[in-house]
Each structure stands twice: as structure tokens, then as C-alpha cells.
Amino acid sequence: MIRTSAAGDGTKVVLEGNVGVEEIADLLKALDAARTGGTVDVEMASCQSLSSSAIGALIACHNRLVPEGMRLRIRGANEDLLRLLKLMGLDRHFELV
């Protein structure tokens, strides 16, 4: 499940469950809608796994945000997801909190 809501300095995108290929269209739509200024917070506290396509969508969002002066922040990812994102070197691009 993927949903968005306004957050303090930007928009929050909440990912729940397993975000696989079937959810990519919804994820891309949510991330695009979140580009309203400020920070796009991706809340992953209830997310168990991400497909490579979902990770690619996060990278694409980051690449669109940076030239606009915005940023992508990952919040609450479980230990396995954090390890994967760091292994891929994405901690140098996204803020992981």
C-alpha cells in the first residue's frame, strides 16, 4: 500500500508491506505528486521489502528533486532495507533516518 500526505517541510509518502513490480505505477504516481517543494519523506516503518524497480523509482525521484532544490529522505526502514540501501551506496544520496 502506498499513500501520501502533507508533512512539515514537504510531503510524506508511506510505503507498507512488500513494494514490488505490481505497485510501481502507484509508487511513481505518489512520488511525482510529492514534488511540491521541500523534502519528500518516504516512510518505511511498515515496509518489509522493496523490489529493484521500487529502488529504481526512488533513485529516479531523487534525480528529479535535486535540480529543483529538494531532497529525498528515507525514514524508519528496517535493518535489512537499511543495509541494502547502504550496500548500494544510496546513503550518499538519500538521507536515511
pLDDT band at 9 (very low <50, low <70, confident <90, very high): confident
The 10s digit of each residue's pLDDT in 43-57 is 999 999 999 999 999
Q: Over 90: is that where the pLDDT of 30 sits?
A: yes
Give CA–CA dist 47/26, Å, rounded.
Answer: 15
pLDDT of residue 5: 87
Residue 48's pLDDT is 96
Number of domains in the chain: 1
The enclosing domain of 62 has a CATH number of 3.30.750.24
Integer Cα distance of 92 and 17 in angstroms? 25
Tell me the residue range of the domain where 49 lies.
Answer: 2-75+84-96
For residues 47 and 81, is the Cβ–Cβ distance under 8 A? yes
